[in-house]
């Protein structure tokens, strides 16, 4: 169970800490398209992050995930610390690839809305299983009480973003409904660009830039456009009938409350 990325019931923004993910889950993650279309600084710097944070509402949850493994940026813990001190609810989706023992010991001290650990499956996602990596996994398990998991094994269901981004024939469908138009879930890039959402690996829908304008202005412009001009939406898995979207939302909320109840019983 996880809510955060993939949960359309609330507004948040994903943070891409670097362009060019070293994990290379290429069966499902079209990194070659993202890296070829991107321009500008490829690593989110402390200086630029400070500028961007000042342009983001303090109540907006920030999810360190986006289009790259967060630990690909060796300043990740500092970036998280800055977001935490600014008052943002924070989440992270990570493989722990490239994370040091010291990094992880620092990271688990923060309160996370969502901490999703992406585990190796031996096929789509393969990383060195060093002793340090194993120790880091157990550090998370022992210290993060609400940790959730993702694994791209035979039960994994793709959102088809790999084919959409690579231009492999996808039958377009009429736009029906997406909660992301009511609860924007933009993806921030290291150069300050704000992309439409987690499905926009092709970077075809850049809405603004947080080095030059405020989040509220980008959001206002997006809400004015809404569903009229985004080709991506005609191919997207989040484009559902209103009834199906409602059922999915209710199921997620029930699951969320069940896990919160379980946590309260344990404590």
SS3 61: coil
Q: Give DSSP secondary structure letters for 212-236.
A: TS-HHHHHHHHHHHGGGS-GGGGT-
Q: How many CB atoms lie within 10 A of CB 143?
A: 14
Residue whose tokens read 């990740």:
76
Find the range with the poorest average confidence among 36-50, 63-77, 80-94, 213-227. Answer: 213-227
pLDDT at 227: 58
**Residues of the chain above pLDDT 90, percent:** 63
Alpha-carbon gap, residue 65 to 132, rounded angstroms = 22
In this prediction the pTM is 0.85
Q: What is the pLDDT of residues 95-129, one digit of tens each?
A: 999 999 999 999 999 999 999 999 999 888 888 99
Cβ atoms 64, 44 nearer than 8 A? no
Cβ atoms 227, 239 nearer than 8 A? no
What rounded mean pLDDT belongs to the chain? 86
Residues found in the chain: 267
Structure tokens at 12: 């948040």
């Amino acid at each position: 169970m996880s809510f955060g990325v993939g949960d359309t019931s609330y507004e948040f923004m994903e943070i891409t800490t670097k362009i060019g993910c070293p994990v290379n889950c290429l069966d499902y993650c079209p990194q070659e398209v993202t890296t070829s279309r991107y321009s500008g600084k490829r690593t989110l710097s402390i200086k630029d992050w400070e500028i961007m944070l000042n342009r983001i509402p303090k109540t907006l949850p920030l999810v360190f995930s986006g289009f790259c493994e967060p630990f690909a940026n060796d300043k990740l813990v500092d970036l998280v610390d800055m977001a935490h001190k600014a008052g943002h609810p924070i989440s992270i989706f990570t493989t722990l690839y490239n994370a040091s023992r010291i990094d992880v010991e620092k990271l688990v001290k923060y309160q996370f809305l969502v901490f999703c650990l992406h585990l190796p499956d031996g096929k789509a996602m393969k990383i060195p299983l060093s002793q340090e990596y194993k120790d880091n996994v157990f550090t998370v398990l022992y210290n993060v009480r609400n940790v959730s998991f993702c694994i791209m094994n035979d039960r994994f269901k793709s959102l088809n973003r790999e084919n959409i981004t690579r231009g492999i024939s996808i039958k377009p469908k009429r736009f029906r409904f997406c909660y992301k138009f009511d609860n924007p879930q933009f993806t921030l890039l290291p150069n300050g660009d704000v992309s439409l959402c987690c499905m926009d690996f092709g970077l075809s829908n850049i809405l603004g830039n947080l080095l030059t304008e405020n989040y509220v202005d980008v959001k206002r412009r997006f809400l004015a456009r809404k569903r009229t001009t985004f080709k991506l939406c005609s191919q997207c898995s989040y484009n559902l009938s209103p009834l199906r979207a409602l059922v999915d939302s209710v199921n997620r909320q029930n699951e969320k409350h069940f896990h919160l109840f379980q946590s309260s019983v344990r404590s």
